[in-house]
Amino acid sequence: MNPGSKRLRITLDTNVLFSAVAFGKDRPPLKVLELVRKGKIEAVISPFILEELRRNLIGKAGWEESRFLAFEKELKRHIFLITPKSRLSVIQRVDADNRILECALDAEADVLVTGNMKDIRPIGSFQGIKILTPKEFLDCYFPGE
């Protein structure tokens, strides 16, 4: 990015956020989230992504509701929350994955960072939005981070 240019805007999908907080430990998803926390990039998610994250952290990672609420409060200090107006049906196999694309589209994201290798990542790009894994995102935009 050139000095004076707008900050890079990304959408983080649910599995990237889940991996960052459930597994952490210097892995690419946590590194991406740390860049957001440091203000180096803007991140945008939707209520759908936040609710899916809540369900997964409570149901799969064994978090208590109170722990999630504390995390959600901290997360909202660093991440923009939008309610997408677009309705897409690009992904046929799992319709819920379209909610992730809708968020990236309406957020005018530069990049959708995903760990979904079955349905989202294979698209490659969508209406000018690059679709990358956390590692690809770091390699492309923040090599050496």
pLDDT at 4 (0 to 100) = 47
pLDDT tens for 77-91 read 999 999 999 898 888
Cα(46)–Cα(51) distance, integer angstroms:
9
SS3 content of the chain, % helix, strand, coil (to 5): 45, 15, 40
pLDDT tens for 89-140 read 888 788 889 999 999 999 999 999 999 999 999 999 999 999 999 999 999 9
Nearby residues of 82 by Cβ (< 8 Å), 6 or more positions away: 44, 45, 46, 103, 106, 107
pLDDT at 87 (0 to 100) = 92
pLDDT tens for 29-72 read 999 999 999 999 999 999 999 999 999 999 999 999 999 999 99
Nearby residues of 57 by Cβ (< 8 Å), 6 or more positions away: 18, 21, 22, 63, 67, 68, 71
pLDDT at 133 (0 to 100) = 97
pLDDT at 89 (0 to 100) = 85
Give the CA-trace dihedral at 68, 69, 70, 75, to 10 degrees: 80
Q: What is the pTM of this model?
A: 0.92
pLDDT at 29 (0 to 100) = 96
Alpha carbon distances (Å) from 140 to 36, 44, 130, 135: 16, 19, 11, 8
pLDDT at 48 (0 to 100) = 97
Q: Which amino acid is at 35?
A: L
Alpha carbon distances (Å) from 128 to 39, 79, 112, 131: 23, 22, 10, 9
pLDDT at 5 (0 to 100) = 55
H or E element that contains 80? strand 79-81
What the block records as the tokens of 61 is 């990672």
Task: Please check the confidence at residue 1 and state whether its pLDDT lies above 60.
Answer: no
